[in-house]
Amino acid sequence: MSSSIVIFDLDGTLIDTIGDLSAAVEYALQQGGFPGHTVDEYRSMVGHGIRNLVTRALPEGSPVETIDLSLSRFLEYYTKHIDVLSRPYPGIHEMLGELSVRGIKLAVTSNKFQAGTETLIRRFFPDIPFAKILGNAPGLPLKPDPEVVRLAIEAAFAGSPPDLGRVHSRVALRLRSGLAAAEYGRWPVAQPATHAKRLETLEQKHETGDEEARSIPTTIYPDRARSAGRRDRALPPHELSDSPSLAVLVGDSATDIRTARNAGIGAIGVSWGFRPRADLAEADIVVDTVDQLKEVLLTETINT
């Protein structure tokens, strides 16, 4: 049984929800007599919780009372039409099933409200045994706070998560160096042997404390997020070990990548979501198709 966990974002990663989200906000705006927006404009607004979505859609400087009323109208409409246009991206359901069959733990962390997150998961993935489904709930901070990652890992491993730090470092190095991409034959990079040597050199430098930090992802040094001036609360670095474990977060936005960084785990960006590919620059790797994502996850989580 694998001791790996893959934590997925929901909107723009597993499910294309932009049609229903934009329709619900448009309804709320029309009820209040406010101008609307295009679907493409809504793509840049989603991902930070529904209150932030409604606030950004309203005219700048709208009073709290207007925001509250518009949010209520949004929820009234959205809860009744949450799955009218929304659909999983092609191949996602099959990929989740294969990961589960291989014994890989699965979880969802979303900034969508909890009831909506659970509704969509039950609607589209009723047969997938997610260890934890986390949305925006009272007392739970939004991503990029890493608390959701900690809760997902604890739930997946019954409160006794394995020591993930050593393998986080190795997987991040593999992905960032291009070794995995070369093995998969998809990306035009140097020969795997070259990257294998590069990986070995980086790991040796890490073990001896060599400061080649510029070429090593921040996953290895989670405290670098703080030293770089980020305000996101970062978890303490994991103890290094040889535990055959892996945790990785898959998402379509810079918020998802920062969440993974703050939690000290691997970060995979998907380019089919709501954000432009440039927003995923800090990911360990960016994939363009579900088949690529499945190959990366199966190779790293099974063979690590």
Confirm if 293 and 52 have CB atoms less than 8 A apart.
no
CA distance 299 to 149: 22
Pairing of strands 132-136, 105-113: parallel
* H or E element at residue 259: helix 254-263
CA distance 209 to 262: 21
Is 256 designated active site? Answer: no
* H or E element at residue 156: helix 147-156
Angle at which helices 92-101 and 290-303 cross, to 10°: 10
Phi, psi at 188, each rounded to 5°? -80, 80
Q: Which residues of 260-296 are buried (b: 16+ CB within 10 A; e: fewer)?
A: bbbbbbbbbbbbbbbbeeebbeebbbbbeebebbbbb
Number of residues written out for the chain: 304
C-alpha 184: how far from chain center: 22
Q: How many angstroms separate the Cα of 225 from the Cα of each of 14, 209, 217? A: 27, 18, 11
Expressed in percent and rounded to 5, the helix, strand and coil fractions of the chain are 50, 15, 40
From the candidates 9, 11, 252, 279, which is the catalytic residue?
9
Indicate which residues carry an active-site annotation.
Answer: 9
